């Protein structure tokens, strides 16, 4: 989940690397570091804190040289402190590494190297990598061969960028974690994600598992197990750098919430041939599984209701991390639909890989072309949401709902009807935001000091309650839980007392049943916030959302996204960088 970047070219590396880690900070912001190869060798600056904090203390751009690496960290092994920050050096200070992922056998390697006289100063698993490379070089291997041997030995999911002082070469490698090569004019970039260097080049090569790129005067890509050179396609990215900037907005979260009128429409603008190909897979399957994590999982839950209502079709919904428990139901007639914003979520990739081992057909709904998931799946549908930088998923969620709705309608030959529905819904987003914005600021002021908050909904509003609770706790750190309305009676009602906020997500189709649940919490003193197309005397606070029938989930989540944002501001928190979280979860 860390962000890694490397640069080799003719420009000042420290400026490019600093700009790059700022754009990768959504992947981790516990600490940051940079190493540049200059006339006096490799110089490292690093420390705990976010990019701007550490840069204000260490002045990264003072580093001179045209070759370097940088890192922004989300801690896995080792606490957050200056010593555990990346980059890490070998004992002789000639090999430098930045790393995303986990070296599962680092304790075994560390013990081996300690027996050979190597010393370790950090608590990280990463530090074994440069020292293992040094060990092989000390025993007569070239830098390139030493890296190959090291990569063959380490276990786990990783992406690394390794720099050699003696050779002036950078090597980037991956297994299970993302790494992209950018190709400029006389310069090369390696990064966890395209936005890191999108201002500098639009030409990228996506590395596959067990591949490493050697950056010298030119670039070469090899399989590090066989040593065979792989000749890869150069892709042209269609995301502009401007799309990845905040523009007039104070935070990416607010920008991305406000983009949804456009992104929902773009998600609906799918090729009818592609959607028909996907729905042929769905209709021809004996068993369909929707898998995702976090927000994407909630989109899958919502889609299961839509498939039932529109296509009269049962689909299974599973957390990607639990998918392996269903292996006895998998066959060549099974279809697994994997939903992920980044296409790099470790548990989703593991689920798809597991499905493929059992002969299953695979389809992805993803936002990043060229991501690992797109290369694993036999068919891919792009969400077309553009770069999503905020750690919290907002526009990607509604884009996922849009694509899944298209599939459900297309399964019964109603593609055009679904597209019209979604375009109509997209057209209501801007007015909705403008109409409720001030009310949600006011509501956030009322709720900023509460400890607990509950969301209830029935039918299509239930998955929205789950997603809404996730948004609130992710960014405001208020304990929030989402429930199917009737479930409060099965234990959670014990927590309802005077003043406890309960957000009721209500639709025309669920009104009669949900009103009963609202009366139950009101009788126990709850402060009820209604998100509904019509006001009700039971609501203590009312947010009006236009009714959209089967597309209700697309619109009703937007007020909660905004509420979560304003709660963060009311509590003086950074909504783009919630504590302990990172955008792309690339470890299991």
The backbone region for 463, taken as left when phi is positive above 0, alpha when psi lies in -120 to 50, beta otherwise, is alpha
Instruction: Tell me the sheet residues that pair with 315.
Output: none
Whether 583 is catalytic is: yes
Is the four-CA dihedral 123, 128, 129, 130 of positive or negative sign? positive
Reported residue count of the chain is 588
Q: Give bridge partners of residue 531 from the DSSP assignment.
A: 505, 543
What is the DSSP secondary structure assignment for residue 549, as one 8-state letter?
G
Helices (H), 234-340: 252-258, 260-268, 272-284, 295-306
Q: What SS3 state is found at 292?
A: strand
From 2, 200, 300, 390, active-site residue:
2
2 is catalytic: yes
The helix/strand/coil state of 525 is coil
Select from 389, 382, 349, 379 the least CA-distant residue to 366.
382
Which one from 94, 148, 266, 583 is the annotated catalytic residue? Answer: 583
User: Which run of H or of E encompasses 170?
Assistant: strand 170-175
**DSSP 3-state percent helix, strand, coil across the chain (nearest 5):** 40, 20, 35
Q: Which one, of 481, 558, 548, lies nearest residue 508 by Cα?
A: 548
Q: How many CB atoms lie within 10 A of CB 449?
A: 9
The answer to whether residues 350 and 343 touch, using CB atoms and an 8 Å cutoff, is: no
Q: Which among 67, 69, 63, 60 is positioned nearest to 9, based on CA atoms?
A: 67
Please list the active-site residues. Answer: 2, 583
């Amino acid at each position: 989940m860390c962000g890694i970047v490397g640069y080799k070219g003719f420009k000042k590396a420290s400026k490019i690397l600093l700009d790059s880690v700022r754009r990768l900070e959504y992947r981790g912001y516990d600490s940051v570091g940079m190493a540049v190869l200059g006339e006096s060798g490799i110089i490292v600056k690093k420390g705990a804190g976010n990019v701007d904090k550490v840069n204000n203390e260490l002045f990264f751009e003072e580093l001179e040289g045209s070759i370097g690496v940088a890192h922004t960290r989300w801690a896995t092994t080792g606490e957050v402190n200056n010593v555990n920050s990346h980059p890490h050096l070998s004992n002789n200070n000639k090999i430098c590494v930045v790393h995303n992922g986990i070296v599962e056998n680092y304790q075994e390697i560390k013990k081996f190297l300690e027996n050979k006289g190597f010393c370790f100063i950090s608590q990280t698993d990463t530090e074994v990598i440069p020292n293992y490379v040094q060990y092989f070089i000390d025993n007569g291997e070239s830098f390139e061969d030493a890296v190959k041997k090291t990569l063959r030995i380490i276990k786990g999911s990783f992406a690394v960028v390794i720099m050699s002082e003696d050779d002036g070469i950078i090597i980037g490698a991956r297994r299970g974690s993302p790494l992209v090569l950018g190709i400029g004019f006389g310069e090369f970039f390696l990064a966890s994600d395209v936005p890191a260097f999108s201002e500098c080049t639009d030409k990228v090569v996506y590395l596959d598992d067990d591949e490493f790129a050697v950056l010298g005067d030119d670039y070469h890509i090899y399989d590090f197990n066989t040593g065979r050179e792989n000749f890869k396609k150069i892709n042209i990215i269609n995301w502009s750098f401007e799309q990845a900037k905040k523009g007039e907005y104070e935070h990416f979260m607010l920008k991305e919430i406000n983009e949804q009128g456009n992104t929902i429409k773009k998600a609906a603008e799918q090729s009818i041939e592609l959607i028909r190909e996907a729905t042929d897979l769905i209709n021809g399957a004996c068993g369909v599984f929707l898998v995702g994590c976090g927000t994407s999982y909630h989109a899958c839950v919502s889609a299961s209701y839509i498939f039932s209502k529109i296509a009269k079709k049962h689909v299974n919904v599973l957390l990607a991390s639990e998918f392996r428990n269903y292996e006895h139901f998998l066959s060549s007639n099974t279809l697994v639909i994997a939903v992920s914003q980044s296409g790099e979520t470790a548990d989703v990739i593991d689920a798809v890989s597991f499905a493929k081992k059992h002969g299953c057909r695979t389809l992805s709904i993803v936002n990043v072309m060229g991501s690992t998931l797109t290369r694993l799946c036999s068919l891919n549908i792009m969400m077309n949401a553009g770069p999503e930088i905020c750690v919290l998923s907002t526009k990607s969620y509604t884009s996922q709902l849009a694509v899944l709705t298209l599939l459900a309608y297309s399964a019964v030959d109603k593609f055009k009807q679904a597209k019209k529905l979604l375009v109509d819904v997209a057209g209501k987003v801007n007015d909705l935001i403008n109409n409720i914005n001030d009310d949600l600021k006011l509501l956030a002021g009322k709720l900023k000091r509460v400890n607990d908050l509950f969301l209830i909904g029935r039918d299509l509003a239930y998955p929205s309650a789950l997603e809404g609770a996730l948004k609130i706790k992710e960014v405001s750190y208020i304990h929030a839980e989402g429930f199917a309305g009737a479930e409060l009676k099965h234990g959670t009602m014990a927590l309802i007392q005077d003043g406890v906020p309960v957000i009721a997500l209500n639709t025309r189709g669920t009104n009669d049943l949900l009103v009963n649940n609202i009366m139950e919490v009101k009788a126990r003193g709850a402060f009820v916030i209604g998100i509904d197309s019509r006001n009700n005397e039971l609501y203590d606070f009312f947010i009006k959302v236009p009714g959209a029938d089967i597309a209700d989930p697309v619109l009703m989540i937007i007020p909660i996204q905004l509420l979560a944002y304003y709660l963060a501001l009311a509590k003086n928190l950074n909504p783009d960088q919630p504590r302990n979280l990172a955008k792309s979860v690339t470890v299991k």
